[in-house]
Amino acid sequence: MKTGSVEVRHALTSRDAAVMAAMRAAVAAAKGTMSGPEARGPFDEVMAHTPSASGVDYEEANIGGIPGVWCRPHGARPGAALLHLHGGAYVLGSAHAYRNFVGQIAARTRTAAFIPDYRLAPEHAFPAAIDDARRVYRGLAEQGARQLVIVGDSAGGGLALVLLSLAHADAVSGRGLAPSAAVAMSPWTDLTLTGASFTSRADADPLVTHEMLAKTRDLYLGGHDARDPRASPLHGDLTGLPPIQLHVGDSEVLLDDSLRYATRARAEGVDATVHIWDGMPHVFPANVGALDAADAALALVATFVDTTLGT
């Protein structure tokens, strides 16, 4: 690994190769099927399988008028918080279903994390999700957070990067707290769906398809321009952003969404590094304990947060 390199590749372990072979067989029939509100129950069940972290307390709360769940590790660093925006293609997902996964991140980073239940499409189309995310961000600052790291996965990863640009712009204009950093796992950064990996990884991806994302994209945007930077952070202003760490599987159709975003960010002078994990599927870090790569990725997230916020 070269210091400051934009891409860091991680090899597939033999244990993970065996786990992934079994996983691919188990989920083959469900590939590309979670594309509407009817899949909310099954999606939440899948996410709830992440084991809970020890030493973390969970608390329902309301921040900025948006309900959600706090994941508070014992001995959390004072004055800092993670804002985790959950995945689900803007149509699925909930704070309760994500509490175990985010609790794992909170425990490793020793930082309290809040998961908002931002409004979902199609009941609440664009820009409801980003409006809610901005309200939560401001609410955390108003409650005394002095350091905020924005975190997200999948669509929530894209939403996190949109929020990063907007919060940074607000801070530059003297209208809010500057974000300290961002972490995005398998982020959906371009809702135009033009990444080359939609073709090159179509067969390799065990979970996500172009058709699936096109359906949820349309439910979310409701005809709005997919190139709007509030929908697709790849097309936003990345100038002057704080450090960003991205994690993506090499087997994902969304691989290029991470690579292109990181390349654009580095071109603007941003400290952005993307970790590419061979053989890994979409949002693989949620498979804590089952995949070596998941635990290794979260260890890198913890080091990144420690470096950014101070140990």
Which residues are marked as active site?
Answer: 154, 252, 282
Residue 177, phi then psi, degrees to nearest 5 = -80, 130
Strands 147-153 and 80-85: parallel
| CA pair distance 239, 223, nearest whole angstrom | 28
Which among 244, 185, 140 has a CA at the least distance from the CA of 47? 185
- 280: tokens are 């890994």
Order of all β-strands in the sheet with 66-73: 7-10, 272-277, 244-249, 181-185, 147-153, 80-85, 113-116, 66-73, 56-63
Residue 244, phi then psi, degrees to nearest 5 = -130, 135
Determine the Cα angle at 272 with ends 114 and 232, to 5°: 65
Residue 218 amino acid letter: D
| CA pair distance 170, 217, nearest whole angstrom | 27
